Amino acid sequence: MTQTTVATVPREEVQQRLLELLAAQSRRVPVAVVILLVVVAFMAAHRMPPWIPTVWALGAIGVLLVRRQVLGLLPAQTDVSTERRLRTAVILSCINGCTHGLTLAAFPVLQDTERMFFTLLVLGLCSGSVATTGGHRRVFLAYLLPAAGTLPVWWALNPRGPTDWSELSVAVLIAMYLWLLVGLAANTWHNFSESVQIRFQDRELTAQLRDALAQANQANQAKTRFLAAASHDLRQPLHTIGLLVAALSLRPIEGRDREVVDLLSQVTVALSEQLDQLLDISKLDAGVVDPDRKVVDLGEMLRMHQAEMRAAIEEKGLRTVVEAPAGVRCWTDPALLLRILRNLTENAIKFTPQGHIALRLRVEQGSACVSVQDTGRGIPESELAMVFEEFYQVDNAERDRTKGLGLGLSIVRRLCALLGITLQLESVQGQGTTITLSVPLEAYDPQAIEPPQPVIARNFTGLSVLVIDDERSVRMGMRVLLEELGCRYAEAASVEEATQQARASKPDVILADLRLRNGETGLVAIASVIAAVGPTPALLISGDTAPDRLQDANRAGIKLLHKPVSLPVLRVELARLLGERVA
C-alpha cells in the first residue's frame, strides 16, 4: 500500500517501546534475582567475613530497587528525549552489572562446586538479560561486560593444579558462550524491532482504515484529482511545444533545419507516449479506455520487451531468459499489453536479489500463455490474495519508495480484465514467483482489418477557428499552427470571452480546453457559444484526465483529445468536424 500505507517506524518509536519493555521487566524480575543474591551471599559468607557478602547483597538489592523505580518512570517522561532516557537505562544496566560482577571477587576462595554454581548463576543472569533488555546492544553489553566479562579470566587465572587444563577449557567455553549471547542478543533486538514495526504499522493501518472507511470516496477522488492535475500541468507545456514544432514542420525548411525539426517532433511524441503510460491510468477508473486492438505477434513483442528491460535487469545483476516462438499472433491492444508486461517485469526485478527473470510464451488450449517468472523472495501464501489490491506491498516494511507505490499489480489486474486476459499467480516463498497471462487466440480475418487511412491533405484556408484555453502559451502555439494552416483565428480564455469572440467571428469550429480557470469548463463555453451563434462543431483538447471530467465529455457527445495533440491528428479531427457539419 502507498499513501494509505504507514511510514517506516521512527527510531524514537522503537526506543519508546524498549523503555516500556525495560520498565515491565524491572517489575517482574527483582523477586527471583533477590532470592539468588541472598543465596550467593549466604554461600560466600562461609569463605570470607560475613559482613562483606551482607553489604554486597544489600547494595545489589538496593540497586535493583532503584533501577526498578527509575525504569518505571522513564516511559512516561515524554518531555525528555528518548535518547536521553535510553542513556539513563544504559547507566542503570551498567551499575546493575557491576554489582552482580562483584560476586566474582570471591572466586579465589571458592571451592570447585561453588565456582561452578557462581558461574552458572552469572551466566544464567546474562542469558536472561538477553530477553529483559530486548537484546539492545548498548543496554545488554552494559550489563554483560561488567557482570561476566571477567569470568573467563577468573577461570584461567585460578587453576587448581599446575597441569590441570580443565579450568582453561572452561574459560574458553565461557568466552564462546558469551560471544554466542552477543549474537543472540543481536537477533533478539532485530526481532524486537520488527515486532515494534509490525505493531506500529498495525496501529497506523487501523487508524488509516478507519478514516478510509468513512472517507473512501473522498480519498479516491483526491487521488484521481491529483493524477488529473499532474497530467494537466505536465501536458500543457508539452502541448505548446508540439504546436510550435508542428508549425515549424509546415514551413519550407530543408537540410539541417529540417533534421532538427524532425528530431524535436520525435522527442515530443516520445514524451507524449511516456505521459500516456504514466498519467492516463485514471481513465481506467473512469471506464473510458477503449482498447485499440491490432494483430500482435506475441513472440516479437516479448523479445522487444526483453530488449527494453535488459538494462534494468542486468543492472540488478540478474540474467534474462527468453523463450518466445515465432508465429503466435493474437488480436489485442499492444500498448496496454506492453504496459502489463512492463509492470510485471519491473515488479519481478525489484524483488529478485539474484538469479534470473524469465519471459516465456507457449500455446495451450486455444490461448497464448505469456509468463513472467523470477527467482526472487516469493510471496507468503497468506498474502497471495492481497497483492493485487491497491497500495498493497509485500516485503517493503521500510517503505522504500524505489519499490514503488503498490499500484503496479492492481493496474495489471484492471488492464487484464479490460483486455479479456486471464491472470494466474503462482509463488513459493524463498523460491520465486510466476505470473501467467492467458491471452485468447481469437480468430480474425486479416482481410477484414482496415488498413490505416492516410491523412487527407484537406485545405483549411479561410476556416474560422475559435480556440478557448486559459493558458496563454497554448493559445499562442495554436495560433501559430492554425495560421500556418491558413485558418482565421480567434481566441478566448473564459466563457464570457468565448461568447463575445463567437459573436464577432462566427467560428466554423471550436477547439476548447476541458478545464478553464475559476471553475469554468470547455463544455460550458461550447454550450454558451452555441447558444449565441447556433450549432457549431466542437472538439475538446485537454490535459485533464480526471474520471468525472472524462465521463462528462462522453455524456456531452463531444470528442476529447488529450494534449499534446499531433498535427496529423489535428488535421484528421478538423476534417471530421467539417465533414459532420456538411452532413
Q: 97-101, 161-165, 177-181, 215-219 — which is least confidently predicted?
A: 161-165
- Asked whether residue 85 carries a pLDDT value surpassing 80, the answer given is yes
CB atoms under 10 Å from CB of 358, counted, come to: 19
Q: Stretch 447-462: mean pLDDT, rounded?
A: 59
- In three-state form (DSSP H/G/I as H, E/B as E, the rest C), the secondary structure along 414-426 is HHHHHHCCEEEEE
Q: What percent of the chain has pLDDT over 70?
A: 80
- Asked whether residue 390 carries a pLDDT value surpassing 60, the answer given is no
Residue 14: the pLDDT is: 83
How far apart are alpha carbons 569 and 268 in whole angstroms?
14
Fold (CATH) for 294-448: Heat Shock Protein 90 (3.30.565)
Mean confidence (pLDDT) of the chain: 80
C-alpha cell at 284: 481506467
b/e map of 525-560 (b: 16 or more CB within 10 Å)? bbebbbeebeebbbbbbbbbbbbebbebbeebebeb
Residue 402: the pLDDT is: 46
Domain boundaries, the chain: 11-208, 218-289+455-583, 294-448
**What pLDDT, in 10s, does the model give residues 284-331?**
666 666 788 888 899 999 998 888 888 889 998 999 999 988 888 888
Contacts of 26 (CB under 8 A, 6+ apart): 67, 68, 71, 72
Residue 221: the pLDDT is: 61
Q: 70-74, 452-456, 486-490 — which is least confidently predicted?
A: 452-456
The neighbouring-strand residues paired with 331 are: 295
Residue 319: the pLDDT is: 92
- Least Cα distance to 527 among 502, 563, 554 occurs for 502
Q: Which is higher by pLDDT, 354 or 205? A: 354
Residue 4: the pLDDT is: 41
**What pLDDT, in 10s, does the model give residues 154-197?**
888 776 555 467 778 888 888 898 899 889 988 988 888 888 88
Taking the CA atoms of residue 361, residue 366, residue 367 and residue 373 in that order, the dihedral angle to the nearest 10 degrees is -40
**What pLDDT, in 10s, does the model give residues 220-234?**
566 656 666 666 666
- DSSP 8-state code for residue 515: B
**What pLDDT, in 10s, does the model give residues 509-545?**
999 988 888 888 889 999 999 999 999 999 988 877 6
Of the candidate CATH numbers 3.90.1820.10, 1.20.1080.10, 3.40.50.2300, 1.10.10.10, the domain formed by 218-289+455-583 belongs to 3.40.50.2300
- Asked whether residue 568 carries a pLDDT value surpassing 90, the answer given is no
How far apart are alpha carbons 250 and 112 in whole angstroms?
103
- Asked whether residue 398 carries a pLDDT value surpassing 50, the answer given is no
Of these ranges, 47-61, 263-277, 316-330, the one predicted with the greatest mean pLDDT is: 316-330
* Sequence-separated contacts (24+) of 400-405 with Cβ below 8 Å: 402/350, 403/350, 403/351, 404/2, 404/346, 404/347, 404/350, 405/2, 405/3
Residue 405: the pLDDT is: 43
- Asked whether residue 394 carries a pLDDT value surpassing 60, the answer given is no
Residue 356: the pLDDT is: 92
- Asked whether residue 62 carries a pLDDT value surpassing 60, the answer given is yes
Amino acid 202 reads D
- Asked whether residue 9 carries a pLDDT value surpassing 80, the answer given is no
Residue 404: the pLDDT is: 44
**What pLDDT, in 10s, does the model give residues 419-441?**
889 988 898 888 899 999 999 88
How far apart are alpha carbons 30 and 35 in whole angstroms?
9
- Asked whether residue 39 carries a pLDDT value surpassing 90, the answer given is no
pTM: 0.42
Confidence of residue 455 (pLDDT cuts 50, 70, 90): very low
Residue 3: the pLDDT is: 43
Residue 484: the pLDDT is: 85
C-alpha cell at 129: 538479560
- CA contacts within 13 A on the Cβ side of 163: 0
Residue 318: the pLDDT is: 92
Q: Stretch 453-468: mean pLDDT, rounded?
A: 75
